[in-house]
Amino acid sequence: MLEILKQSSNPEICRPLAEAVIEIALEFNRKFGRKPAFMEVCGSHTMSLARTGVKQVLKNEVNLISGPGCPVCVTDQRSIDAMIALAEGENRIICTFGDMMRVPGSAKTLLDSKIAGKDIRVLYSPVDAVRVAEENPDKEVIFLGVGFETTIPILTLMIGEAEKRMIGNFSIWMTTKLVEPVLRFLLDAGEVNLDGFLLPGHVSIVLGEESYQYLVDEYQISGVITGFETAELLSGIYKSIELALSGQAAISNNHPAIVSKTGNQVIHQWLDKYLTNCDEAWRGIGVIPNSGLDLKPEYDQFNAKKRFTVDVGEPRKTKCRCGEVIRGLIAPNECPLFGKACHPINPVGPCMVSAEGSCAAYYQYMRESF
Amino acid sequence: MCVGVPAKVILKKEYSAVVDVMGSQTTVGIIFVPEVELGDFVIVHAGQAMSIVDESYARQSVEEWRRLIDARNSEAVK
Amino acid sequence: MEKYISLAHGDGGELSHRLIRDVFIEAFGDGNAAMFDAASVAISASKIAVTTDSFVIKPIFFPEGSIGKLAVAGTVNDLAVSGAKPVYLTCGFVIEEGFPIADLRRIVTDMANEARKTGVKIVAGDTKVVERGCADGVYINTTGIGVYEANIGCSLEFEEGDAIIVSGTIGDHGIAVLAARGELGITVPITSDCASLNRMLEMVLQHTEGVRIMRDPTRGGLATTLVEIAEDFNLTMKINELDLPVKKEVHGVCDLLGFDPLYIANEGKAIIVVAANEKDKVIDLLREFPEGKDAVVIGSIIGKDKGQLLLETPLGSKRLLTRLSGTMFPRIC
């Protein structure tokens, strides 16, 4: 099996595959007189497309636009400020994914708070936060629950675990995001012209292929569920162009080895048990109704927003254009701060700090000079 | 959106499993994939197995890439 | 003898005396040097190299190494990549009150063993003890003195086409130490590459011509060190992703945590930039040593004007590599 999986980065497959994509893209160009344009919804796609060189190799033939799929980047400034303010309280241990540490709040970052002596812990496996709570019964342990559909189920596991072990000093600050509402927002706004979406391979594990049918039925636009390795990305783009050429909108599952028609049903049960839809504010967009998931009222004891109040003022205004980057309206290097005032060492906006943020991916992997 | 890595299950317990990622081992939760069996590959995200990799589909994908490449090559010969 | 270090071990009195006698002199051997405020040593060169480095690492003991081995090898390597032959070391210890003396003994023994292996003498030392909670176990500073031999060294004159060689697999130390911390629950069957490279690099310098520069890619990893060379000498360097030697286990951990092996620390690797016509000879020489058995050419100098490091991806595209920016945190996205 490992041999099969390895093929996805085998240059003997990837190079000719890239040529095949270029060829079909040229065919599209001949037919429509322009480059085909696709949005990669997922931040990991943004990062992989840049890191593997796919975006670079196709830059003259295919327009790949980064979408709102980096959970850190789409979190609005007020939420980020709130999470940082949360860490200021006494007798608290804040547990978080590493991604959040350097995100700039209006006044400082979580990393700044850690340096100033606050107990902030980076976890790889979030369920460990429940153990931290158990080991520190005299402290309040709060997990910063950011994430899309792939990560949200893991947050419910933590609640399940805390419930089972009757841990009273554990809670989650939920600020989660869902893919469908934001895709609908982008399509309704009609600001970007797209020939289709590269749909996120890992989120689709949870959602399943059929969940995207609304794209075809309501918006007549195609989507191809795509993996993250070089050959998977290339074949996902190939299929997208093929669909665009056919003139027929459809959802295509280009990652069937891990994505099923209806998604992971066990995960759906966990989500249904603990969570309910809620409105969420998105950076650069504002509140989208029902675009996130929050704990059901019966789990208020684990809901940090119900247990703690934080005061945050008006977010600091900057010239950062992350909001437009997230919506696919501008490329990272069109922001006046890019690479100058805003830099991975001193990021102004979250897109520059998260590893899969469009600006960081662009800065790390897309700059070239010969 | 989410880092996910294929890992092979080498020891299965009730709610967790030891998996091998190219020779390194770690323990992951398997609550979301109760049907997982020893030797299966799973996609791991943030310490949890999210999906079992279907070998026949994985093979099909590789074959599809090869067909795509071959089709191009034979066209080039013509 | 006491089991733990106390503040009295650092006050210069009887306990300090005993600690020096029973732990340090016991291991390092030369009792005479301890009788004076400074060591007098003979040097047979008109030019010497001096370097200093402080070592703080968690955990203090890790697979195939310890802070002691590291403190000797690290400084020896800084001298060796500068083209100097390491001859003397000094060491300064900052120890936290309550540190087990058995562990200190183990560390000092590791230092003595590594020094013996590399042929350097530890000629002066110092110990300070700080209150519990003011340090994390033990910190060591070592200063190294090396001598330059006539007509041997790095030219620092680069040509287009010069080969970039790395002496073995990258990222082993960083990943081994990360796993040894136990915080991530990952078991990795690899050990730190911590090793003194002076004998191997001396051999390269003695038997080849055309070595331009040597560096050891420690913190910040291979990419950071190469960026520094490129910027310092205004070179355009290109390395090929497919040629980078990375152990599959290191690759696996990096995939899991979202790390890049190019930015993971090494403690027993050298980068050598050498004239193209000498590259095979250098590789052959390196491969005669266990520390150099995986040595490979990973790229070349493609220009002398930009001060940039480029990575060629397996697809054939190129991208700019930058220094490591900030601490790496395990990430989910």
Tell me the CATH number at C23: 3.30.1330.10
C303 and C174 in a common domain: yes
User: Residue B24's closest chain C neighbor by CA?
Assistant: C188
Q: Which of A154, A159, A164, A225 to mutate to test the interface with B (most CBs of B within 10 A)?
A: A154
pLDDT at B1: 45
Q: Cβ C316–A15 below 8 Å, yes or no? A: yes
pLDDT at A358: 87
The residue type at A192: V
Q: Which helix (H) or strand (E) holds C204?
A: helix C198-207
Q: Give dist(CA A10, CA A63) in Å, integer.
A: 24
Give me the phi and psi of C93, to 5 degrees please.
-110, 135
Looking at chain A, which subunits does it touch, using at least 3 CB pairs closer than 8 Å as the criterion? B, C
Note whether A119 and A153 are within 8 A (CB): no
Residue C329 in domain: no
- pTM of this prediction? 0.91
Q: Give dist(CA C35, CA C17) in Å, integer.
A: 11
Q: How far is the alpha carbon of C198 from chain A, nearest alpha carbon, in Å? A: 34
For chain A, the domains span 75-176+263-307
Note whether C265 and C314 are within 8 A (CB): no
Q: Give the contacts of A198 (CB within 8 A, at least 6 positions apart).
A: A38, A39, A40, A41, A42, A45, A64, A223, A224, A226, A233, A236, A237, A240
Is the Cβ of C316 closer than 8 Å to some Cβ of chain B? no
Q: Residue A292's closest CA among A6, A76, A52? A: A76
Q: CB under 8 Å, gap of 24 or more: what pairs does A260-263 form?
A: A260/A208, A260/A209, A261/A208, A261/A209, A261/A210, A262/A208, A262/A209, A262/A210, A262/A211, A263/A204, A263/A205, A263/A206, A263/A207, A263/A208, A263/A211
C201 and C59 in a common domain: no
Peptide bond into B6 cis (omega under 30): no
C103 and C60 in a common domain: yes
C200 and C135 in a common domain: no
pLDDT at C333: 56
Q: Give dist(CA A103, CA A297) in Å, integer.
A: 30
**Range(s) of the domain holding residue C31:** 7-36+43-147
Residues of chain B falling short of pLDDT 70: 1-2, 76-78
Per-window interface: A 218-237 vs C, CB < 8 A: 230
C215 and C106 in a common domain: no
Q: Residue B3's closest CA among A119, A57, A71, A287? A: A71
Q: Cβ A202–B72 below 8 Å, yes or no? A: no
User: Residue C241's closest chain A neighbor by CA?
Assistant: A52
Cα angle: A133, vertex A138, A144; to 5 degrees: 40
Domain A75-176+263-307 sits in CATH at: 3.40.50.11740
- Count interface pairs A-C at CB distance under 8 A: 95
Per-window interface: B 15-74 vs A, CB < 8 A: 22, 28-29, 31-34, 41, 43, 45-48, 50-55, 57-62, 64-66, 68-69, 72-73
Q: Cβ A205–B51 below 8 Å, yes or no? A: yes
Q: Give dist(CA C315, CA A49) in Å, integer.
A: 11
Q: Which of C305, C319, C324, C333 to mutate to test the interface with A (most CBs of A within 10 A)?
A: C333
C18 and C137 in a common domain: yes
Q: Give the contacts of A34 (CB within 8 A, at least 6 positions apart).
A: none
Higher-pLDDT residue of C291, A353: C291
**Range(s) of the domain holding residue B28:** 5-77
Note whether A365 and A80 are within 8 A (CB): no
Is the Cβ of A57 closer than 8 Å to some Cβ of chain C? yes
Cα angle: A116, vertex A143, A43; to 5 degrees: 95
C181 and C103 in a common domain: no
Q: C252: burial class by Cβ within 10 Å (0-12, 13-18, 19+)? A: buried
Residue C189 in domain: yes
Note whether C117 and C196 are within 8 A (CB): yes
Measured between alpha carbons, how far is residue B47 from residues A58, A120, A250, B55 in Å?
A: 34, 19, 33, 22
C117 and C54 in a common domain: yes
Is residue C29 pLDDT above 60, yes or no?
yes
Q: Cβ C187–B44 below 8 Å, yes or no? A: no
C137 and C67 in a common domain: yes
Q: Which helix (H) or strand (E) holds A234?
A: helix A230-246
Q: How many structural domains is chain B composed of? A: 1
Is residue C31 pLDDT above 60, yes or no?
no
Q: Residue A140's closest CA among A104, A108, A187, A92? A: A92
Q: Cβ A344–C308 below 8 Å, yes or no? A: no
Q: Cβ B24–C186 below 8 Å, yes or no? A: yes
A 10 A CB-CB count for C303 gives 16
* Among C317, C319, C330, beta carbon nearest to A124: C330
Q: How far is the alpha carbon of A221 from chain C, nearest alpha carbon, in Å? A: 27
Helix (H, G, I), strand (E, B) or coil at A62: coil
Q: Which residues of C199-223 are buried (b: 16+ CB within 10 A; e: fewer)?
A: ebbbbbbeebebbbbbbbbbebbbb
Q: Cβ C251–B22 below 8 Å, yes or no? A: yes
pLDDT at B76: 65
Q: Residue B2's closest CA among A236, A204, A38? A: A204
Q: Cβ A53–C184 below 8 Å, yes or no? A: no
Q: How many structural domains is chain C composed of? A: 2
Q: Give dist(CA A313, CA A306) in Å, integer.
A: 19
Helices (H), chain B: 55-77
Helix (H, G, I), strand (E, B) or coil at C21: helix
Helix (H, G, I), strand (E, B) or coil at A42: coil
Higher-pLDDT residue of C158, C20: C158
Task: Convert the pLDDT of each residue in C73-89 to its tens digit.
Answer: 999 999 999 999 999 99
pLDDT at A154: 95
Is the Cβ of C179 closer than 8 Å to some Cβ of chain B? yes
Q: Which two tokens stand for residue C80?
A: 């060796």
Residue with tokens 């007020």: A78
Query: What is the pLDDT confidence band of residue C332, given thresholds at 50, 70 and 90?
Result: low
Note whether C24 and C117 are within 8 A (CB): no
Higher-pLDDT residue of A306, C10: A306
Q: Cβ B26–C248 below 8 Å, yes or no? A: no
Q: Give dist(CA B6, CA C215) in Å, integer.
A: 35
CA C63 from chain center: how many Å?
16
pLDDT at C43: 87
pLDDT at C35: 65
Question: Consecutive 10-residue runs of chain A (370 residues): their mean pLDDT?
Answer: 91 96 97 97 91 94 92 89 93 92 90 94 90 96 95 96 96 96 95 95 96 98 97 98 96 97 98 98 93 97 95 87 88 90 86 83 71
Q: Cβ C315–A11 below 8 Å, yes or no? A: yes
Is the Cβ of C333 closer than 8 Å to some Cβ of chain B? yes
